[in-house]
Structure 1
């Protein structure tokens, strides 16, 4: 895997991918690299107008579809319209935004980053032939799943903690899905990835003075979105990627560099919390997740 780059992506001709949030940043770079390798890619985005130029740049291998992960009705509509794919990449997300709620009343970061993708995966899984890749973040390290107040209804809202919680939920979901798929004898696998410190449009949405520093950091310290997409691309395409494994950059304490197996906070291995989070996610999203 040493110094793995997009040049190492196997031929993807004839394979179909769904990439959420592919209108910019990591998702757009992921879609471009997959299409360059021969794949057909669906850019599943809330802002379809913003996604159209990305699809036009990619060419005939790309299509755009409406998907708002902060609205379960939109998730169900998209899932009904999708006739299947080899790989689902749960990439879309929001980060450190002010307190807002989704159309279904969930805290926006947990609702978009985890619950929307949980419901989408549940609805699409019977149509996914190969694997599911879910994006987490190194910020999962600060996340602690509060099963008594998942949607920040009783606590004072803290935007970075809420983001960390949602990213821990992504990691727990990806690992739990992997175990359940393996137990069911499924040929489908579940991997998790994170981009390290990559310059994307996620930064700069906090509506605080922090935005100035994050934009400065993007210019000075961060790697590019294309480089940040490498762990996702490895997880999504490499024949060596393994079920339940977390992939990320391997240099500068996991902030940049070629993709490899990533360390993670061992809270993500708490089987009791993972099982309860799964059940709660089913209840909140009104989905019956059959593996």
Structure 2
């Protein structure tokens, strides 16, 4: 049967920051952690929605505004939030039309990767234990990572490929952060996880007819968001979880099933490319890390 939400250790006295906690996987992550005694900071762009959800969840919850598509919002959040044990980089957008963030980044790359890169760097000194970054099976959708054109200024925009690029960046970032923490002799850890396939709000923002088809289709091959959240919660709470492992569902090509070690592309393991991505991300966001 494998690891389940019933196996979450007691989290009393621990604080978690969860981005995108107001729906989808974030809702189940927040509910499960709060149910084990944790304090959860719900870092969300839509604080009204987060507030309504918080009234339905028993536990110690704090709603705070965070717009990952606006670096000034990321900095403001990082300045006001207190120390935490775990940062969970969960929020994201998927397959959206071409748009730019406030800072001029392609939206999927800007929100999914650069926003979280900046947030993690600004919060790292406040994080006592670990960082968990939610990647995706979709990291397989891009054949390369265009370090010289991350914002699609000189190539045709294909929304699914752009989403794949952003999730590949999530995966490579989590691994590079772990390498840097280990090299610095830090006891902090960085984990990459993926949820498999699940019917969440991510599948309803393409602004095409696909919105009506995607969620029913994902219900057929994927699993409920409560189960999809398990890999993230496992990496966030299990004391002995190996940060070198890419954690996710292990059945039906990773789309569903018990949490375990998941495969990833050779591209995602390219250490030199990950270092180049890190340098580019620092330059784009203006955020440098203490490791």
Q: TM-score, normalised by structure 2?
A: 0.98
- 1:51-83 deviations in Å (ceiling 9; x for gaps): 112211223411100000000000000000011
Match of 1:153 in 2: 153
- 1:106-127 deviations in Å (ceiling 9; x for gaps): 0000000000000000000000
For 1:83-232, what aligned pairs fall within 5 Å after superposition? Answer: 83-143=82-142, 144-232=144-232
1: CA distance, partners of 2:247 / 2:4: 14
- 1:201-227 deviations in Å (ceiling 9; x for gaps): 000211122222202213433311111
Offset at residue 136 of structure 1 (A): 0.3
- 1:127-183 deviations in Å (ceiling 9; x for gaps): 000000000000001122101100011111100000000000000000000000000
Match of 1:6 in 2: 5
Match of 1:288 in 2: 288
Match of 2:22 in 1: 23
Offset at residue 266 of structure 1 (A): 1.4
Mark the runs of 5 or more structure 2 residues left unpaired by the alignment: none
2: CA distance, partners of 1:150 / 1:219: 32
Match of 1:61 in 2: 60
The answer on whether the counterparts of 1:21 and 1:92 sit within 8 Å (CA) in structure 2 is yes
1: CA distance, partners of 2:153 / 2:38: 43
Offset at residue 287 of structure 1 (A): 0.8
Q: Secondary structure at the residue paired with 1:18?
A: strand
- 1:25-71 deviations in Å (ceiling 9; x for gaps): 10110010001011000000000011112211223411100000000
Q: Secondary structure at the residue paired with 1:64?
A: strand
2: CA distance, partners of 1:185 / 1:69: 29
My pick for the range that moved more, 8-17 or 248-257, is: 248-257
The answer on whether the counterparts of 2:86 and 2:129 sit within 8 Å (CA) in structure 1 is yes
Q: Secondary structure at the residue paired with 2:235?
A: helix
The answer on whether the counterparts of 1:17 and 1:88 sit within 8 Å (CA) in structure 2 is yes
2: CA distance, partners of 1:162 / 1:105: 15
- 1:255-275 deviations in Å (ceiling 9; x for gaps): 111111111111111111111
The answer on whether the counterparts of 1:251 and 1:258 sit within 8 Å (CA) in structure 2 is yes
- 1:84-115 deviations in Å (ceiling 9; x for gaps): 10000000000000001100000000000000
Report the RMSD for the aligned CA atoms in angstroms: 1.0
1: CA distance, partners of 2:82 / 2:107: 28
Q: Secondary structure at the residue paired with 1:3?
A: coil
Offset at residue 240 of structure 1 (A): 2.3
Match of 2:239 in 1: 239
